[in-house]
Amino acid sequence: MAEPFGLLAELTYRCPLACAYCSNPVNLGDYTEELSTSDWARVFSEARDLGVLQCHLSGGEPLLRRDLVALVSAASSLGLYTNLVTSAVGLSRGTASRLRDAGLDHVQISIQADQPLISDRLAGIPSFHRKVAAMRVVKELGWPLTVNVVLHRQNIDRVGELLEFAASVGADRVELANTQYYGWAWQNRDALLPSRSQLAAAEEVVRSFSSSDLDVLYVVPDYYGKYPKPCMGGWAARQLTVTPNGDVLPCPAAQSLPLPRASVHSASLASIWADSPVMNAFRGTDWMPSPCASCDRRGVDFGGCRCQAFQLTGDAARTDPVCHLSPDHALVTDAVAAANESVDVPLIPRPHRARA
């Protein structure tokens, strides 16, 4: 059993935005009792002892945690590489300076589109100009900057402009990641899934884009793949997630699965990683049904995403329906066929929840 490399610390699910593609849980009421500062400090220490090297501070919006500077300091003092994953709404120069002094290593800022009107519409609040201002502060303070864009039917036609935007703000890296259909995004799948022609055009733009200063990561949507992606490098293989209330999961979407809970309130990270049912449920390949069990790709994609399999079939042990060999593949091809009928479906905004 390998040691985990990265910890995703979901500090809060509170967020000032109302993005219709949000993959966080819909039942936010279950996560109102957030871990304390001392709880998180203990989690970071146990993660370091377990072998974790990278600590990604995420949410929701982590800037809504009043103790964020203290949390960064706690993780940084342990030698963890710290990355703030933020909407940047609320990232003032003063806050940024305090985070830098606390040891924050990297900042990742999300943007919904390259134009204010589109970006603000997709975010649910006026935020574009605040995001751009925060990106400038990040670069002025000497941090590496990643710009993250969740792509979908509503913005994928502007991939070229998004790349130019990322370059213009001095980003070191841009992540163009197509929507994952969990949480609120699942409610909006018909309005978010791009057409085949949109994808083909976007991929051509990305291939032709050239910049010596900008590292570009483009992630195609699962629904258009022949084989599933090796989700998180395999179930409980190299990554773990701790949710705002202390649940420990192999990936951010696994809270939707009907598996026994493991919590930092009742066990150490080391014992949870090694022995808990949630971590061992789909670890390795012995659990696999046909056709995965006899497939020569079983050690490559590990049967695909367990959360996606459950979302689509109601059975987390099924072969990911994205795979063209899956007996449930029609569930995906039907969704793709509907997306290619070019019928506009209105987005359902995610409710705001910025307070405890």
Encode the chain in three state secondary structure: CCCCCEEEEECCCCECCCCCCCCCCCCHHHHCCCCCHHHHHHHHHHHHHHCCCEEEEECCCHHHCCCHHHHHHHHHHCCCEEEEEECCCCCCHHHHHHHHHHCCCEEEEECCCCCHHHHHHHHCCCCHHHHHHHHHHHHHCCCCEEEEEEECCCCHHHHHHHHHHHHHCCCCEEEEEECCCCHHHHHCHHHHCCCHHHHHHHHHHHHHCCCCCCEEEEECCHHHCCCCCCHHHCCCCCEEEECCCCEEECCCCHHHCCCCCCECCCCCHHHHHHHCHHHHCCCCCCCCCCCHHHCCCHHHHCCCCHHHHHHHHCCCCCCCCCCCCCCCCHHHHHHHHHHCCCCCCCCCCCCCECCC
Please tell me whether 295 is known to bind a ligand. no
Cα dihedral across residues 267, 270, 275, 280: positive or negative: positive
Please tell me whether 231 is known to bind a ligand. no
Please tell me whether 305 is known to bind a ligand. no
CA distances from residue 38 to 44, 63, 77, 335, 354 in whole angstroms, order as listed: 10, 17, 14, 45, 22
Under 8 Å between Cβ of 298 and 285: yes
CA–CA separation, 108 vs 56, rounded Å?
10
CA distances from residue 273 to 205, 239, 263, 287 in whole angstroms, order as listed: 41, 10, 11, 18
Per the annotation, binding residues for [4Fe-4S] cluster are 15, 19, 22
Per the annotation, binding residues are 15, 19, 22
